[in-house]
Chains A and B, each alone.
Chain A
Amino acid sequence: MSLITPGAAGKTAAEVTRSQLTGGKRDTAGLVLLVLLLLCTLTTLLILGVLLQEVLVDAWPIMSERPGDFLTSTIGSDPATTGVWPGLYGSFIIGLGVLVLSVPLGVAAAIYLEDYARHDHKITQLILVNIRNLAGVPAVIYGVLGLTIFGTWLKGITGGSSVISAALTMAVLVLPVVIITSMEAIRAVPQGLREGGYGVGSSRWEVTRDHVIPYAAPGILTGVVLSIARALGEASPLIMLGAITGLLPETTLTGPFTALPMLIYNWSGRPDPVGGDIGWTNAAAAAGLTLLILVIFFNAAAIYLRNRFERTRLGV
């Protein structure tokens, strides 16, 4: 406001015009809207804050006493000695699998559908409709699919109900989301950029590689962030695949597996032992905090990349 040169009686030109149009009345509707929007924001933040506070308070007895031991021990029968290692291992491999599998596949599919395929073609239309629908299919259905395909048909390769099957299932689960967000990002690349490239004699692949992907990268990576958070948080496909929650002394790629959401779910329901200070609620909260940190770790990587691409794009 202060940057604008004050007009007569210390009012800006905009204020003068506004008061003429509204007849000098205060803009009550605008004020109400402002307060409402602020309230909505604060409510959201409050819910998030309460959630975080709950998790932190419940997790504190374990995380302050034995954070290293909790992370490296295996699942046990006592909340005071139980550990989260098999779940951490499982969730890490699932996150890695999603990054390695669904990101290249999803981005490639998006580039093809957006820049190569003929949009008016019947088959392209059919594929697009299918991908949009797949993005809305409940996770349990993907669990059934994963159990049938990766857990049963490809048992020789995946080892049945293993962390590989879980990673593959999660990769398939988030693939439609990766494709759709990547397509949106690629669509937002200015047509002039592509035409400029073609104009100086670049081939289609060169334009895609040097201009479209770097320009669309921040948008694509936002999709990746969301996908990883979802893949790490889903429990229902893992229930279908048969994740272990009892005792799992050994973590292998093709053997029995578990993941953090399964442990959180199972531990929340276990009856507390009599007389102990630390209950299963604390263990579940500590596992929740571990999952939160793991998600932040994966997302930090994606966000770092996004910022780098954004800087490159702005030429900083």
Chain B
Amino acid sequence: MKASTKRLFAGAIVASLVVAACGDDDEESTPETEAPAATEAPAATEPMTSEPMTTEPMTTDGEGGGGAGGETPELASGNVFVTGSSTVEPISIRVGELANELSGGELLVTVEGPGTGDGFQKFCAGEADISDASRPIREEEAQTCADNGIEFVELEVAIDGLSVITNPNNSAIECLDVPGLYALLGPESEGFGSWSDANDLAAEVGAVQSVPFPDAPLVVFGPGEESGTYDSFVEFAIADLSEERLGEDNDFTRADYSSSPNDNLIVEGIESADTSLGWVGYAFFQAEGDRLKGIAVDAGDGCVAPTAETIADGSYPFARSLYIYVSTTAAAENPAVASYVDLYLSDEGIAKVSDAGYVQIPEDRLAATRDAWAAR
């Protein structure tokens, strides 16, 4: 019987080898990634020249690195693999679609979003050309990259910011601090129907801004859990305190609020009640500014109102930079990677940041990013 068992196993191995053989045939089509011939890319050139510059003008006075301007680049053909943060993923997807469209299907970009940490793990193992990140690379991650001989360049591409909002008629609340937001919106606030219900909890977690809260109806509107804005809000306002008080895996907001994937419905909700409270992405708040009142946020350094300036200079606490990390090793070997990043940083590419619901970085920082890329 042992012999028969062996035969079965042998069958299994043979079967898997047959499949593997089929796979090998296919692999021959994949190495075009490294094909140096791709540099010529004759077919890819015409579509761009006919493409007019539609995006908003940006001063491209050519200071610093040459060729780091905003015009749409010529695209090489080949494959690019992008991994990393699911927050940055929507931008990379849109730029990838643009690359496919402009190159006539020659520049093929694959994008996945397992998360920033997982992304760096893959990236530093040499399994990805580009890693999206919602935070700067950690020292130990950079060390892994160095150990594996992966050289990279960090490029800031967008700002993920959000605004805590209320009705413009609400004059009682001008500023809230992180403990205050936790008391009003955190997992322990479930059932609070009035702002004053949160006073005990606010005192317990050490809120100082706008306390005690007034005795007024607390109606909450915000994006649902499926939204990246929800995740960002939890990370900025809830996660630290919920982990400290309730332990891990309690990083969510109260469940009893009106959630909507549609920002317009959130705005309508905020407008419908004088003492409402909610949050939206900064880009949307900026667009709808007069219908909403942005509440200043205090994360330990005093109240900072959400404005273009405070977001840009980094003083507004509920905003963070989004990055892409490009392997210069891969970019040198594979012209497709360089082409994709060229397109990412062009005016047309960086405009996708707004399409994905994020804030474009100010011009000086965009210039710095372009210079960093040109100087790789």
Residues of A whose CB lies within 8 Å of any CB of B are 76-77, 97, 100-101, 104-105, 108-109, 112, 116-118, 121, 123-124, 154, 157-160, 162, 164, 167-168, 242, 244-250, 252-256, 269-272, 274
Which chain A residue shows the least CB distance to B89? A246
A249-B100, A269-B226, A271-B226 given as contacts; is B23 within 8 A of A108 (CB)? Answer: no
B8 in contact with A247 (CB, 8 Å): no
Shortest Cβ distance from A275 into chain B, in angstroms?
Answer: 8
Selected contact of B29 from candidates A97, A105, A252, CB within 8 Å: A252
For this complex, 10 residue pairs linking A to B, each with C-beta atoms less than 8 Å apart, are A112-B4, A154-B16, A164-B23, A246-B96, A247-B97, A253-B22, A255-B30, A269-B226, A271-B223, A274-B263
**For A167, what are the chain B residues with a Cβ–Cβ distance below 8 Å?**
19
B26 in contact with A245 (CB, 8 Å): no
B113 in contact with A105 (CB, 8 Å): no
B112 in contact with A124 (CB, 8 Å): no
A256 in contact with B110 (CB, 8 Å): yes
Shortest Cβ distance from A31 into chain B, in angstroms?
Answer: 46
Those of B241-272 within 8 Å (CB) of chain A: 261-264
Known: A246-B89, A274-B264. 12 other contacts (CB 8 A): A77-B90, A77-B93, A101-B15, A116-B1, A117-B4, A157-B16, A246-B93, A246-B110, A246-B111, A246-B113, A250-B79, A254-B27
Selected contact of A157 from candidates B15, B23, B110, B262, CB within 8 Å: B23
B8 in contact with A242 (CB, 8 Å): no
Write out, one digit per residue, whether chain B residues 17-39 have a CB within 8 A of any chain A CB (1) or not (0).
10110111011011000000000
Shortest Cβ distance from A41 into chain B, in angstroms?
Answer: 36
Shortest Cβ distance from A242 into chain B, in angstroms?
Answer: 7
Shortest Cβ distance from B86 into chain A, in angstroms?
Answer: 8
A123→B93 CA distance, assembly (Å): 53
**For B97, what are the chain A residues with a Cβ–Cβ distance below 8 Å?**
76-77, 247
Selected contact of B111 from candidates A104, A105, A112, A244, CB within 8 Å: A244
A168 in contact with B19 (CB, 8 Å): yes
**For A250, what are the chain B residues with a Cβ–Cβ distance below 8 Å?**
79, 108, 110
Which chain A residue shows the least CB distance to B223? A271
B29 in contact with A271 (CB, 8 Å): no
* Chain B interface size range: 35 or more
- Whether, in the assembled complex, B206 has its beta carbon less than 8 Å from a beta carbon of chain A, the answer is no
**For A109, what are the chain B residues with a Cβ–Cβ distance below 8 Å?**
8
A108 in contact with B8 (CB, 8 Å): yes
A289→B82 CA distance, assembly (Å): 29
Which chain A residue shows the least CB distance to B20? A157
Which chain A residue shows the least CB distance to B16? A168
A40→B235 CA distance, assembly (Å): 47
Shortest Cβ distance from A94 into chain B, in angstroms?
Answer: 12
**For A256, what are the chain B residues with a Cβ–Cβ distance below 8 Å?**
81, 110, 112
**For A124, what are the chain B residues with a Cβ–Cβ distance below 8 Å?**
1
Shortest Cβ distance from A143 into chain B, in angstroms?
Answer: 14
A246-B111, A247-B110, A249-B110 given as contacts; is B19 within 8 A of A254 (CB)? Answer: no
B94 in contact with A97 (CB, 8 Å): no
B1 in contact with A164 (CB, 8 Å): no
A108→B30 CA distance, assembly (Å): 36
Report which residue of A116, A121, A154, A250 has the largest number of chain B beta carbons within 10 angstroms of its beta carbon.
Answer: A250
**For B146, what are the chain A residues with a Cβ–Cβ distance below 8 Å?**
none
Which chain A residue shows the least CB distance to B2? A123
A159→B17 CA distance, assembly (Å): 13
- Whether, in the assembled complex, B114 has its beta carbon less than 8 Å from a beta carbon of chain A, the answer is yes
A162 in contact with B23 (CB, 8 Å): yes
Shortest Cβ distance from B102 into chain A, in angstroms?
Answer: 13
Selected contact of A249 from candidates B19, B109, B114, CB within 8 Å: B109
Write out, one digit per residue, whether chain B residues 204-232 have a CB within 8 A of any chain A CB (1) or not (0).
00000000000000000001101110000
A97 in contact with B19 (CB, 8 Å): yes
**For B92, what are the chain A residues with a Cβ–Cβ distance below 8 Å?**
246-247
- Whether, in the assembled complex, B11 has its beta carbon less than 8 Å from a beta carbon of chain A, the answer is yes
**For A117, what are the chain B residues with a Cβ–Cβ distance below 8 Å?**
1, 4
**For A104, what are the chain B residues with a Cβ–Cβ distance below 8 Å?**
11, 15
**For B30, what are the chain A residues with a Cβ–Cβ distance below 8 Å?**
252, 254-255
A108 in contact with B11 (CB, 8 Å): yes
- Whether, in the assembled complex, B308 has its beta carbon less than 8 Å from a beta carbon of chain A, the answer is no
Shortest Cβ distance from B18 into chain A, in angstroms?
Answer: 9
